[in-house]
Structures are given as structure tokens and as C-alpha cells.
Structure 1
Amino acid sequence: MTIRAATNEDITNMIELGHKVYVESRFSHLGYDIDKIKHGLEAFILLHANGSHLALLAENADGRIIGGFLGAIEEYFFTTDKSANSILIWVDPDYRGSSTAIKLIDIFKQWAVKKGAKEINILVSSGVKIGSTDRFFRRLGFVQSGGNYSMTLG
């Protein structure tokens, strides 16, 4: 497996894998706007090049994208100390249980240290396998610091 920076040439494949993950998530009742995603990924990849954001992809031995990670570094509202926050982390369901997510998170942690972050936060809101996701992050040394709550309207 290879972990590398995402490029604009990867966007179509990222959108396809993203849809595969989206359909199993709690967001599947919402629209999946490919044009909006494309423009958002283009902007994110540009921010990665500028150093304030991280856009990673994991590829299998055949060069197929099997996961990705989007993150950002920012200051908290109340301090100039920085935190590194996940925006999205996704792994092809066929590769869950492999080292894909661990490797993506490890590179995120290394990047956060280089950027001067005091902590990292993995934000989970997909609603997919909540219990096993919790156990996974705890095994990696994370502690729960809150929760995500949602309510469908209409």
C-alpha cells in the first residue's frame, strides 16, 4: 500500500469511492452533488499545496484508491494553540480491517506535529459501525471528548 498526496487527476476516483462510502452512511438520504464535491476537492488540494490542509490517498498494489484523508490545522477560538482536525477519513469497505486507516492517521499525526499542533481530533459523524469505530480509535490512543448528534428534518 502507498500513501500519497491527492492531485486533481485523482478527483474522479475519489468521488467514486466517496459515493461507495456515502451510500452506507447516515448521509445517504441527502443528495450527492458531484459538481460540488469536485470543486471542494479542487480547493482542498490547492490548500494542501499551500500547507494549511492535508489531502492524502491510500492506493493498493494495483494503484487503485482504497482510502483517503482530509484534514486541516487551525487555532481554537480561545487560544493561538493549534489543533489538527480530520475533515473526512474514508476507507473502501473491502479494505476495512487492513492497515489503511492506521497508516493515513499516522501520516496525519506526523503532519500535525510538523505544523505545531498541540492535539489532533478525529471527527466521526458517518454513523457507520459506531461501536467498532470507537474501539478502533481507542486502540490507537484516542479518548472520547464528546459526541455527534443529528436530527433529520421534514
Structure 2
Amino acid sequence: MGVIRYPGNEALAKVVSMAKEMHGDSSYSHIKFSVQSVINHLASWCANPDRYYVAVYAHSERGVVGGMIGKLETYWFGDGASVASDIGLYVTPSARGGIAAKALIGDFEEWALERGAANIVLSSTASREPLTAAKFYRRLGYKPLGFVTRKGVC
């Protein structure tokens, strides 16, 4: 089956389920997860395909096993140049090591290029094995770019 952009409600329900799994394994797991917030955001993102990328990877026998959400923004300092970045990428544990993540990233790159992105930025906030994603991204041609920090204020 492969990558499906802007999937129907049944696949989006699986995206909500995967978002909850991803959230539990992220550096943001201390923030309360809201199913309704995810549903609202997905609806908004799917309604704006020129700015947001929403896709799932469906396996012919196992159904949806991964999903990716991304966005396109103009650089605040540029002259109209834009950057595409991921909001989230998740592949179920049973499908990791297969082709789902690579296929989703490849399709995201295609989507970004179709919209004139000058750069594509991928990140990971996984709390377990964060270097695994970094190594995978490097194998796909991505280079480290700065770093991310966080400070809780409440």
C-alpha cells in the first residue's frame, strides 16, 4: 500500500492512537495528552495541505503502521525562502527497521520540494534511544543542526 497523504477518518483514528504512543515516549510526556487537541489539530492541518503535511504508511496486511506530520514556513529573516520541518514522525515498534519511516520521509521531502522549500529540518524528542533517530537521519543525508534545550517554568 505505502504512503497515503491526507488519509480518511479510519486512518486518522490510528494517527491519534500513534500520537498517544509517541507522546508517552517523548521528552514531553510530562504534559497531559489531549485526544481532542490532536483531533482538532489534525482537522486543521488536513484542511491546509499547502502548509501542512499529514500522511500515514499503510502495510498491506497490518494496516497503518506509521505516520508523519510536517509543516512549511517562511524564514522570518529571508526573502520568501521557506523551510519544511517535521511536527512528528512515528512508526509502531513492530514496523521499525522496515521501510515505513524512510518512505514517509521521502514523501515529505517530495511534498516540501513541490512547495519550494529551501531546506528540510527533521528532529526527534524521543526519550528512549534519541541517537537512533539521529543516526537514521544522517544515513538519509541530514546533518546535525544546532541543538534543542528545554526548561520547565511551571
TM norm structure 2: 0.90
User: Which residue of the partner structure matches residue 33 of structure 2?
Assistant: 32
Cα offset, 1:60, TM superposition: 1.1
Structure 2: gaps (5+ residues): none
Cα offset, 1:65, TM superposition: 1.3
Q: How far apart are the structure 2 equivalents of 1:23 and 1:53? A: 24
8 A contact 1:83–1:117 mirrored in 2 = yes
Q: Would you tell me which structure has more helix in proportion to its own residues?
A: 1
Query: What is the correspondence of 1:12-31 to structure 2 with a 5 Å cutoff?
Result: 12-31=13-32
Cα offset, 1:26, TM superposition: 2.1
Percent identity, aligned pairs only, is: 21
Cα offset, 1:153, TM superposition: 4.8
8 A contact 1:56–1:68 mirrored in 2 = yes
Cα offset, 1:63, TM superposition: 5.6
TM norm structure 1: 0.90
Cα offset, 1:6, TM superposition: 2.8
CA offsets 1:34-73 (integer angstroms, 9 cap, x no match): 111111111111112xx22211110111262111111111
CA offsets 1:115-150 (integer angstroms, 9 cap, x no match): 111111113223331111111111111000111212
Q: How far apart are the structure 2 equivalents of 1:76 and 1:132? A: 28
Q: Does 1:141 align with 2:141?
A: yes
Q: How far apart are the structure 1 equivalents of 2:52 and 2:12? A: 16
Q: How far apart are the structure 2 equivalents of 1:136 and 1:76? A: 26
Structure 1: gaps (5+ residues): none
